[in-house]
Amino acid sequence: MIHVVDAINRHKYGDMIERSYRIRHEIFVDERKWQNLDRGNGIEQDSYDTADTVYFLAIENGRIAGGHRLFPTTRSHMLSEVFPHLAAERGIPQGPDIMEWSRFFVVKEFRGGRVNMELMAALQEYGLRNGLQAVSAVFETWWLPRFHEAGFRVQPLGLPDEVDGAMTMAGLIEIAPQALRKVRTVGGLTGPVLAPLDGRDRSTREPVQHSEGLHL
Ligand code: A1S
Ligand code: SAM
């Protein structure tokens, strides 16, 4: 199951978010070698880890197996502050119904299967429950076939460019019932992946029936 953690329910997750920063350091600094994120303290945390950040954590038997995060585009965010040139063609999408998606990871021993698919499905499920139209993201181009296979529609915001030795682009990913349906089918998921209640707002807590008959 995927747990949604934000400022409202963070106290219920003890030190899970702190632990996720350490895992992010192992994955993004040590494994991916994104050296500009290294603060030398074993914790990977940037300006987009704030009280406004919504964290998604895959928790398996009390252990973090993966995660990602969303940050409001109504604030300065990674695309607007660090990578605006990647959105030179279509501009930077901003609004209350668009969030920026980043730091997607699966811990090594959980790779190659269900955790990845659950984390992908969690994005669509959360987005549909919370009225998001889309998420923006800056990603290496090898994500495009992954998005396609999962049924996510991506609108490129500009031309790809090299970042840290990797071809990287910005895109707007649609939140849509058909994407949730497809990712569930491809991932062999039989229903909602978001963990039921954790003290957050009503929309995230209670499963609902989407207007197109989809069980969220
Ligand atoms: C990005 C921002 C997001 C918000 C979008 O047969 P393989 O091993 O070649 O199959 C692989 C590759 O096709 C591809 N892939 C994974 N990592 C790649 C890389 N660094 N460069 C090029 N292609 C890569 O995905 C296939 C499956 O990968 P996997 O690791 O066996 O399994 P899984 O469970 O799908 O996990 C994929 C991720 C990317 C989540 C996992 O490898 C991971 O956590 N990597 C480190 C963190 C990371 O790079 N995150 C993306 C940046 S945020
Ligand atoms: N969208 C990605 C993510 O999910 O975190 C980051 C963008 S790009 C694929 C990877 C590059 O962005 C790496 O060189 C990484 O060091 C850099 N990067 C990630 N977060 C950053 C930040 N807050 N400030 C500056 N560079 C950052």
pLDDT one-digit tens code per residue, 2-43? 999 999 999 999 899 999 999 999 999 999 999 999 999 999
Task: Say yes or no: CB of residue 48 within 6 Å of ligand 1.
Answer: no
Measured in Å, residue 210 CA sits from the centre of ligand 2 at 34
Residues paired with 172 in a beta bridge: 136, 155
Measured in Å, residue 200 CA sits from the centre of ligand 2 at 28
Measured in Å, residue 198 CA sits from the centre of ligand 2 at 29
Q: What is the pLDDT of residues 34-76, one digit of tens each?
A: 999 999 999 999 999 999 999 999 999 999 999 999 999 999 9
Q: What is the DSSP letter of 156?
A: E
What domains sit in the chain, N to C, each tagged with a CATH number? 2-193 (3.40.630.30)
Is the confidence metric ipTM above 0.85 for this complex?
A: yes
**What pLDDT does residue 202 have?**
47
**What pLDDT does residue 27 have?**
98
Rg, the chain, Cα only: 16
Distance CA 100, CA 52 (A): 12
Is the pLDDT score of 163 beyond 80? Answer: yes
Measured in Å, residue 2 CA sits from the centre of ligand 1 at 19
Which ligand places an atom closest to the C-alpha of 83? 2
Atom 25 of ligand 1 has which residue's CA nearest to it? 146
User: What is the percent of the chain with per-residue pLDDT over 70, rounded to a whole number?
Assistant: 93
3-state secondary structure of 193: coil
Half-sphere exposure of 124 (CA within 13 A, CB side): 28
The model's confidence at residue 201, banded by pLDDT at 50, 70 and 90, is: low
